[in-house]
Amino acid sequence: MTPFPFAYRSIKAVVILALAALLCGFTFRNAGPPESHYADYNNAKPPRGNTVTVCHAHGCQKQESFTFRNADIRDLAVLMDYARTSDTPDQERRAIAHAIGWMERRVGPVTGTANDRASLEFMNASGQLDCVDEATNATSYLLILQRNGLLRHHSVIRPFSKASLFQWPHMAAMIKTRRSGQVYAVDSGVGPNGTNPSIILASKWYINDGNAAPARAPVPSRPIASMTNQPSIRTQRSDNIGMLVEQILRDGGSPYPIR
């Protein structure tokens, strides 16, 4: 029989560890490639070629198919080149933020998600996205960028979520720098459809890990310009990128929470 004092000390230690975990926060991260994430949520489908399954209605309860045309991929390449001011990982993250904002606006009118608001909308689930929908869709968009050779300094990894005793679980897409191995959260749930996502070190995102330095609140950028009737600044073609590129040139330095 285990002596009572020893059993008491063991139980006390377990309770202390559990409380510490709750206070410091949990990180829920599954192993495997990013494509393995999809089956966990109503059998959502990873991208096939340039076709994505767009999740909405909370937890991928509703799914719509959308195919990015070759012209869309060319526009994304031009957009990302305009958005970055140098060939560095931090500037690529800035370009990624602009690209995902553009992709959301491109997809929204077709999939019924154009009026998605920030955070949750329990009273009107259809067309609204929770963090699972946002993380899944952003992962799909990132995989499209990666498969088309538009990510030079980052690779796409599986989304993960964080929670603590005082904060709801929250999920985001994740990318990893190829050279340093640093992981960044790509959180597209900080603003309405078409707003550039927050991109921030995963250790500082949502709930700080351990002694990580505090990060600034992920304030979203302004929504991108309307894609209809846009004047083009390029001579060859395109009516859906000109004003956005002009906005990027006006912005100068990055106003986004991108580290």
pLDDT of res. 30:
79
pLDDT of res. 242:
58
Give CA–CA dist 222/19, Å, rounded.
40
H-type alpha helices, the chain:
4-24, 70-83, 89-111, 131-147, 242-251
**Tens of each residue's pLDDT in the chain, 259 residues:** 445 444 444 444 444 334 434 444 577 777 789 999 999 998 999 999 999 999 999 899 999 999 999 999 999 999 999 998 899 999 999 999 999 999 999 999 999 999 888 766 555 578 899 999 999 999 999 999 999 999 999 999 999 988 877 777 889 999 999 999 999 999 998 888 998 999 999 999 988 876 555 444 444 444 444 333 333 333 333 445 655 665 555 554 343 444 4
pLDDT of res. 236:
33
User: With the C-alpha atoms ordered 66, 120, 212, 92, is the resulting torsion angle positive or negative?
Assistant: positive
Q: Which residues contact 88 (CB under 8 A, 6 or more apart)?
A: 153
Give CA–CA dist 183/185, Å, rounded.
7
Contacts 24+ apart (CB under 8 A), 178-182: 178/153, 178/154, 179/89, 179/153, 180/89
pLDDT of res. 162:
87
Per residue in 233-247, is it b (16+ CB within 10 Å) or e — as a string? Answer: eeeeebebbbbbbee
Give CA–CA dist 55/209, Å, rounded.
29
Give CA–CA dist 149/152, Å, rounded.
7
Going by their DSSP bridges, the two strands 167-177 and 62-67 should be labelled as unpaired
pLDDT of res. 60:
93
